[in-house]
């Protein structure tokens, strides 16, 4: 397993936001983490990334303990994180935003030889070609989301954690971002993503984790989730 999360418990003060959470991502997998608002999906990603400190349990990456590491150490180990808020620097150019990802990640070789150069980024994100000098603030929501993904790729991660990549985007952009994730996975980057758009999640993911309030309610393939309407109804549909 590339990523192994074992019995993770995370608290915000007295509030038990993640209860005995266990999940895993294998090399090459595209895995979705689903659930209604406030269930703890972002907390799960943040706990893996070291942005919130779990009280107990473990996170192993490539067999090595990374539990409680600072976020930059987790990034150096090869995990990239694209936050829900995207955090594009509005006054920096597209190119400057991209280059910020180099510092945040790891220098040199990705573990599976996945090295991202600007040239390679432009191949996968053709909208960027010729727009390197455009200010972050002037990019559309979809372009900012793609830039946030591309910036994280510049740190050569083997695993990408992506929180709500299609949130708030126009339908055409939803499809573009969806296709980008598939495309990046196809060239060898494993992905764990949180998604509210079921159509996107079900069409992309190889496997699904579904959260109830602070706990894991279901784990299985897309087909298995389709075959269990009562689970979908309880944990997903309104
Ligand atoms: N920094 C924080 N301090 C205190 N409570 C928090 C904090 N962040 C999240 N929470 C609470 O923890 C719970 C889980 O939040 P989390 O953001 O992980 O949910 P989520 O599944 O990502 O929801 P959404 O779909 O709305 O993004 C919620 O009840 C939320 O209010
Ligand atoms: Mg969230």
The 3-class secondary structure across 150-171, one letter per residue, is HHHHCCCCCEEEEECCCCCCCH
Domain boundaries, the chain: 3-235
For strands 159-163 and 15-25, give the pairing: unpaired
* Closest-CA residue to 143 (of 105, 98, 100, 194): 98
How much distance in Å is there from the Cα of 41 to the middle of ligand 1? 8
5, 24 contact by CB (below 8 A) = yes
Ligand 1 in contact with 17 (CB < 6 A)? yes
pLDDT at 112: 63
Main-chain dihedrals φ then ψ at residue 211, nearest 5 degrees: -105, 140
How much distance in Å is there from the Cα of 137 to the middle of ligand 2? 23
54, 10 contact by CB (below 8 A) = yes
Helix 94-104 / helix 141-153 crossing angle, nearest 10 deg: 30
- Which ligand 1 atom lies nearest to the CA of residue 211? 21
Chain position carrying tokens 């790891």 = 106
Ligand 1 in contact with 43 (CB < 6 A)? yes
Main-chain dihedrals φ then ψ at residue 57, nearest 5 degrees: 100, 180
The whole-model pTM stands at: 0.95
How far apart, in whole angstroms, are the C-alpha atoms of residue 77 and residue 226? 35
pLDDT at 237: 78
How far apart, in whole angstroms, are the C-alpha atoms of residue 83 and residue 238? 25
Ligand 1 in contact with 41 (CB < 6 A)? yes
How far apart, in whole angstroms, are the C-alpha atoms of residue 124 and residue 159? 17
Ligand 1 in contact with 42 (CB < 6 A)? yes
How far apart, in whole angstroms, are the C-alpha atoms of residue 199 and residue 201? 6
How far apart, in whole angstroms, are the C-alpha atoms of residue 177 and residue 166? 7
Ligand nearest to the CA of 13: 1
- Which ligand 1 atom lies nearest to the CA of residue 164? 27
Kindly report the CATH number that applies to the domain delimited by 3-235.
3.40.50.300
Ranges under pLDDT 50 in the chain: none
- Tell me 65's DSSP state: E
Ligand 1 in contact with 40 (CB < 6 A)? yes
Digit-coded pLDDT (tens) for 3-22: 999 999 999 999 999 999 99
Ligand 1 in contact with 46 (CB < 6 A)? no
How much distance in Å is there from the Cα of 115 to the middle of ligand 1? 34
Digit-coded pLDDT (tens) for 89-127: 999 999 999 999 987 777 665 566 678 999 999 999 999
- Which ligand 1 atom lies nearest to the CA of residue 39? 21
- Which ligand 1 atom lies nearest to the CA of residue 12? 4
94: Cβ–Cβ under 8 A, 6 or more apart, which residues? 128, 131, 132, 133, 134, 135, 136, 139, 147
How much distance in Å is there from the Cα of 123 to the middle of ligand 2? 30
pLDDT at 107: 65
- Which ligand 1 atom lies nearest to the CA of residue 18? 14
């Amino acid at each position: 397993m590339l990523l192994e999360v074992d019995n993770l418990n995370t608290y915000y003060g007295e509030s038990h936001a993640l209860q005995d959470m266990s999940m895993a991502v294998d090399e090459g997998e595209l895995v979705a983490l689903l659930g209604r608002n406030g269930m703890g999906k972002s907390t799960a990603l943040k706990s893996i990334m070291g942005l919130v400190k779990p009280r107990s349990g473990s996170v192993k990456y490539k067999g090595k303990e990374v539990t409680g590491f600072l976020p930059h150490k987790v990034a150096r180990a090869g995990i990239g994180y694209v936050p829900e808020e995207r955090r594009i620097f509005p006054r920096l150019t597209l190119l400057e935003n991209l280059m910020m990802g180099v510092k945040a990640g790891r220098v040199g070789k990705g573990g599976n030889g996945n090295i991202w150069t600007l040239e390679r980024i432009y191949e996968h994100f053709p909208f960027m070609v010729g727009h390197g000098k455009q200010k972050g603030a002037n990019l559309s929501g979809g372009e900012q989301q793609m830039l946030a993904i591309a910036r994280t790729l510049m740190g050569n991660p083997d695993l990408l954690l992506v929180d709500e990549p299609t949130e708030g985007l126009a339908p055409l952009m939803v499809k573009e971002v969806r296709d980008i994730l598939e495309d990046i996975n196809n060239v060898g980057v494993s992905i764990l993503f949180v998604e509210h758009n079921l159509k996107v999640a079900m069409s992309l993911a190889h496997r699904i984790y579904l959260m109830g309030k602070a706990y894991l309610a279901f784990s299985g393939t897309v087909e298995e989730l389709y075959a269990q309407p009562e689970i979908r109804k309880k944990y997903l549909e309104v």
